[in-house]
Each structure stands twice: as C-alpha cells, then as structure tokens.
Chain A
Amino acid sequence: QVQLQESGPGLVKPSQTLSLTCTVSGGSISSGGHYWSWIRQHPGKGLEWIAYIYDTGSTSYNPSLKSRVSLSIDTSKNQVSLTLSSVTAADTAVYFCARVVHLGDYPDVWGQGTKVTVSS
C-alpha cells in the first residue's frame, strides 16, 4: 500500500525559501498511471492546490504561486520536492503531498501533512 510522508522545517523566516520533501513508500514513484501533487491548507481554511509533477519532470503550477514555486522529482529516492521562495506569513499552512490518478486527475492517496509556520 502506497504511503506518502512529508518532511521539512516547521518554522521558516519571512523572505526565506521553504523546502519540503515527500517520500513515497510501498510503491514506485514511476509506476505509471499517477502523478504527484502538493496541496496546502491555511489554518482553519480550505484547500489550495499548489502544483503537480509527473515522473518525467513535467510540471504544472498554480498561477497564484507560479513565480515562487518549483517542484522536482527524484525517482531514485522515490521523492518529490517543493520549494517556495520569498515566503510570508500568508504561506503559513499545512502542506500535503498527494498521489493523483492520471485517469480522472483525482488525488487518491494523501500524506499526513506537515505544518509550516512563517515567522521571525
């Protein structure tokens, strides 16, 4: 059974770059039929799709974050990484990684999420 685990710093200073990693276990990140997405949830709020990446490295970003966000994939380590630059308090959120089923484009497996606070 595929499991996803997010990791990264819980606290980031304003203007710095946030880096998070999603490690996939129980299956290959290149198994086909899936791609990988990051989604965040601001405190007490709804869900916001950030970006996705295929195992080929092809990406798509939310235009609201496109100038600051970048995804990468390391198939040898079964990991997907997110970097978000020039963070502000508005980037404080729980960040989830998710596996997306290509046929239908729906996230079917989610990580538990990692809480990130932006504060000096």
Chain B
Amino acid sequence: DIQMTQSPSSLSASVGDRVTITCRASQSIRTYLNWYQQKPGKAPHLLIYTASNLQSGVPSRFGGSGSGTDFTLTISSLQPEDFATYYCQQSYSTPYTFGQGTKLEI
C-alpha cells in the first residue's frame, strides 16, 4: 500500500493567515492526489483534485501543488469557516489511501 504522511498533524493559525499543509507519498503517485476538508460530524468535502485542480464551488483561496511524492495545500487567507481537518488522498493505485489528517485550529 502507498503510505500518505501529512504534516503537521495539527496547526494553530489566525484569520487572515496564509497556511500550508504538506502531504508526502511513500512512492510516486504522479498527480493522483486529492485534498478534502472535513468538519465535525460531516462528510469530507472535496477541495482539490489531481493535485492542483480546484473543485467547482470551492473558494479560490484554496490551492494545491506538487507531483511525484510531495504535495502542498495552501490556504491564502484563512477565513473562520476554514477551521477544520484536512486530508490528502492518493488515487494512483488501490487500495486508495488517505493521510492521517491535519487539524487546523484557531
């Protein structure tokens, strides 16, 4: 299985901050990397697909980059509704696997 490692596991930030979350794959996954936001008691919500493509309806302050084994999710200016847990997920090969999550706190 491909292991996905996110860092940091938790992050404290303030409204207006620029935040970067990283995700590293245990082998190359080309650009088959997706990012999700999850709020307590809710299903994950797709933000970015295939590394850098913004899902329809997602604010442009969210951005993704990377290829191969190293990827980043950037939030350019944090808004109050962005405080949540973020997951990366590889869809290069089955079993599809997720990172352990990054909890973004105020």
Contacts and interface: CB of A to CB of B under 8 A. Distances in A.
A49 B96 contact: yes
A25 interface: no
Chain B: number of interface residues, binned into ranges:
20 to 34
Interface residues of A, number: 19
B100 A46 contact: yes
B91 A104 contact: yes
B43 A112 contact: yes
Interface stretch (B15-23, B45-53, B68-76): B45-53
B9 to A, nearest CB: 11
Contacts of B43: 96, 110-113
B34 A106 contact: yes
Nearest to A108: B46
A47 interface: yes
A104 B95 contact: no
B46 A48 contact: no
Given A47-B87, A47-B89, A63-B95, A106 B46 contact: yes
A58 interface: no
A106 B91 CA distance: 7
Given A49-B95, A106-B49, A108-B46, 18 more contacts: A46-B98, A47-B87, A47-B89, A47-B98, A48-B98, A60-B94, A62-B94, A63-B95, A101-B49, A104-B50, A107-B34, A107-B44, A107-B46, A108-B49, A110-B44, A110-B45, A112-B42, A113-B43
